[in-house]
């Protein structure tokens, strides 16, 4: 059985939902496989400066904080958000693809570290230096990781992931899918509490056992 977390590194509600998935992963005690896929929310012609979203995010971030418990930092809200820095999901999504080659079991943790770097520390996910800092915690080879981050093979693999999410019909993030081995079940659409997520999974498993 596999839990598939569909997220985007630039999605504020995903920033709030990732800790829920991390807790679910810890509670599973290895009885369920966990995977994380990038949806490609802001790529290609959809890319735009952070400043173009500043007014919306300034209003919305308090809702995310109140509902999920995460905090957005002043470095993000007052420095990065008003800037001309380009919002682009591709590079951090490629970084996750590369990371999964090394430590797939820690991929959700790395994804959250990227989210904290962006949303709390106000670091750009377009810069190699951000990833050099983040991978130290996981003892990954810096030069090799950065080289793979710019490798066309990993970019292609990431774009294939985007296309898979589109094929599944998922257009909003976060989302989660339970793969029972026989069928895929959507078990979360948007932010979902741990209790509700666990109940949904239990209901899906109960229905499968009765089939």
Look at residue 164 and tell me whether its pLDDT is greater than 60.
Answer: yes
> What is the per-residue pLDDT for 185?
95
Q: What is the pLDDT of residues 111-153, one digit of tens each?
A: 999 999 999 999 999 999 999 999 999 999 999 999 999 999 9
> What is the per-residue pLDDT for 209?
77
Q: Average pLDDT over the chain, rounded to whole? A: 96
Q: What is the pLDDT of residues 15-30, one digit of tens each?
A: 999 999 999 999 998 8
> What is the per-residue pLDDT for 52?
95
Domains plus CATH for the chain? 2-210 (3.40.30.10)
Question: What global pTM score does this model have?
Answer: 0.95
- Residues 19-51 as b/e (b if ≥16 CB within 10 A, e otherwise) read bbbbebbeeeeeeeebebbbbbbbbeeeeeebe
* pLDDT band at residue 210 using 50, 70 and 90 as cut-offs: low
With contact defined as beta carbons under 8 Å apart, do 86 and 49 qualify? yes
> What is the per-residue pLDDT for 124?
97
Q: What is the pLDDT of residues 47-79, one digit of tens each?
A: 999 999 999 999 999 999 999 999 999 999 999
> What is the per-residue pLDDT for 113?
98
> What is the per-residue pLDDT for 208?
81
3-state secondary structure of 104: helix
> What is the per-residue pLDDT for 211?
46
Q: What is the pLDDT of residues 76-114, one digit of tens each?
A: 999 999 999 999 999 999 999 999 999 999 999 999 999
Q: In this structure, are strands 86-87 and 48-49 parallel, antiparallel, or unpaired?
A: antiparallel
Q: What is the pLDDT of residues 168-181, one digit of tens each?
A: 999 999 999 999 98
- Which run of H or E residues covers position 56? helix 54-68
Mean pLDDT for the stretch of residues 1-22: 97
Taking phi over 0 as left and psi of -120 to 50 as alpha, with beta for the rest, 38 belongs to beta
């Amino acid at each position: 059985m596999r839990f598939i977390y569909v997220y985007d590194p630039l999605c504020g509600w995903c920033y709030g939902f990732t800790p829920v998935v991390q807790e679910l992963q810890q509670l599973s005690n290895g009885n369920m496989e966990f995977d994380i896929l990038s949806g490609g929310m802001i790529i290609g012609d959809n890319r735009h400066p952070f400043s173009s979203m500043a007014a919306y995010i300034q209003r919305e971030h308090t809702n995310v904080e109140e509902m999920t418990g995460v905090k957005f930092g002043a470095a993000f809200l007052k420095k990065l958000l008003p800037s001309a820095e380009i919002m682009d999901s591709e590079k951090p999504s490629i970084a996750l693809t590369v990371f999964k080659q090394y430590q797939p079991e820690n991929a959700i943790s790395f994804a959250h570290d990227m989210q904290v770097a962006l949303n709390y520390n106000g670091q750009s996910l377009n810069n190699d230096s951000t990833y050099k800092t983040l991978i130290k915690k996981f003892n990954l080879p810096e030069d090799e990781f950065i080289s793979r981050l710019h490798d066309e093979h990993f970019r292609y693999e990431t774009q294939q992931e985007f296309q898979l999410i589109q094929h599944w019909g998922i257009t909003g993030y976060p989302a989660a899918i339970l793969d029972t081995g026989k069928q895929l079940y959507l078990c979360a659409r948007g932010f979902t509490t741990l209790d509700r997520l666990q109940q949904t999974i239990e209901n899906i498993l109960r229905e499968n056992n009765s089939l």
